Structure 1
Amino acid sequence: MQISLKMKSVAGVISALILPGAVQAETYLGAQANMMRIDRGAVSDAELTGLTLRAGMVFHELVSGEVRLGKAPDEDTYRGITVENDVYYGVYARLTPPVPWAVAPYLVGGYSYVENEFDDEMVRDDGAGFGGGVDMGVSDSMTVNLEYLRLIDNDFGKQELMGLGVSYFF
């Protein structure tokens, strides 16, 4: 039930941001292969491999809005504790300075939600997510990116992603 309410809230925010500018804005879809690192409680440096799907809209040459959904289907064990990721998602703003070359740095920040299992016990975290990366244009409608994203950083621990991905612009 709690996930449902959060998903509805995220959908409402996305609709409010996207619908008014949908006619004028450029949209994109993308995917990233990720290495996820989890530090929480007794677990330190658990590493999982995941996939993130991304959808975004460029509102201005400097500002984009983006939603992400991902999962790390494998598991890791740290000192006898099995660590699994069930899902992670978020809503983010991206700031990209206008640069005259094909490689463009960017900053990303917003809201992240993560569900993990530690020895089959569900643990949920949410909060501010932030990071940065670089996009490299390979054509007029496609970019490849390398990114670091701190999904969660709170009193309980931190979770981060390193990703390599591709985006297609419409």
Structure 2
Amino acid sequence: MGTRKTILVATAAAAGITMSSAALAQDIYKSGVGGLYTGVNYTFIDIDAQEDADVGTLSAKVGVQANKYFGAEARAGFGVNDDTVNGTEVKLDNFFGGYATINMANETPVTPYAILGFTRVELEAGSRSDDESDFSYGAGVNVQLARNLSGNLEYMRYYDDRDVTIDGIGLGILVNF
């Protein structure tokens, strides 16, 4: 076999291997598309009323990736770390909501997304308790860790009404089925 023919065969083989590896990597990473997923998050919450309170929540989520760009999910969580402000205990007792996700699909293990929906929160400050619902929004990124496992970092504005805002930065794990 001549040198030119050897170079052509080697180049074709390398291109074929590269294309099949890229397709396999995309299939592995996008294996959750059209399927269910579930996850857990720990969220550092900032409650900004007349004073700031920093609390923590633990939440679970379940969702479906309708296609590579859109998904829907439900979340529910409860407070696990309270704060004391001016001698008054402040806590986010629980929350739940429904959301749509808009994913920036790509061929890397990192998928940025935006999230929109509604959240119902129950807050307690001393002996006072209040529950309200509001439009919620945020942005985050999922990072593939293994075939069906991703890590997650997210910012959410859960609530913003009547001089009270509730923001959170969450860290979590997602499992695709």
Please report the TM-score for the alignment, with normalisation by the length of structure 1.
0.81
Give 2:57's aligned amino acid: G
Q: Paired residue for 1:118, among 106, 109, 125? A: 125
Q: Per the alignment, in what secondary structure is the counterpart of residue 72 of structure 1?
A: strand
The equivalences for 1:75-154 within 5 A come to 75-154=82-161
Number of equivalent positions? 145
Cα deviation code 1:41-72 (max 9, x no counterpart): x3x22011111101000111100001000111
Instruction: Let me know the Cα RMSD of the aligned residues.
Output: 1.3
**Separation in 2, partners of 1:156, 1:93:** 26
Displacement over 4 Å in runs of 4+: none
The equivalences for 1:26-65 within 5 A come to 26-40=35-49, 42=50, 44-65=51-72
Cα deviation code 1:51-106 (max 9, x no counterpart): 11010001111000010001112321112222012101110000001111111100
Q: Per the alignment, in what secondary structure is the counterpart of residue 61 of structure 1?
A: coil
**Separation in 2, partners of 1:141, 1:32:** 17
**Structure-2 residue corresponding to 1:166:** 173
Instruction: Say which one has the larger Rg.
Output: 2
| Structure 2: gaps spanning 5 or more residues | 1-32
**Separation in 2, partners of 1:144, 1:84:** 27
Q: Per the alignment, in what secondary structure is the counterpart of residue 138 of structure 1?
A: strand
**Separation in 2, partners of 1:45, 1:104:** 32
Q: What percent of counterpart residues are identical?
A: 27
**Separation in 1, partners of 2:42, 2:80:** 12
CA contact (8 A) 1:105 1:133 kept: yes
Q: 1:135 deviation in Å?
A: 0.5
| Structure 1: gaps spanning 5 or more residues | 1-23
Q: Per the alignment, in what secondary structure is the counterpart of residue 73 of structure 1?
A: strand
Q: 1:34 deviation in Å?
A: 1.0
Q: 1:25 deviation in Å?
A: 2.8
Q: Per the alignment, in what secondary structure is the counterpart of residue 146 of structure 2?
A: coil
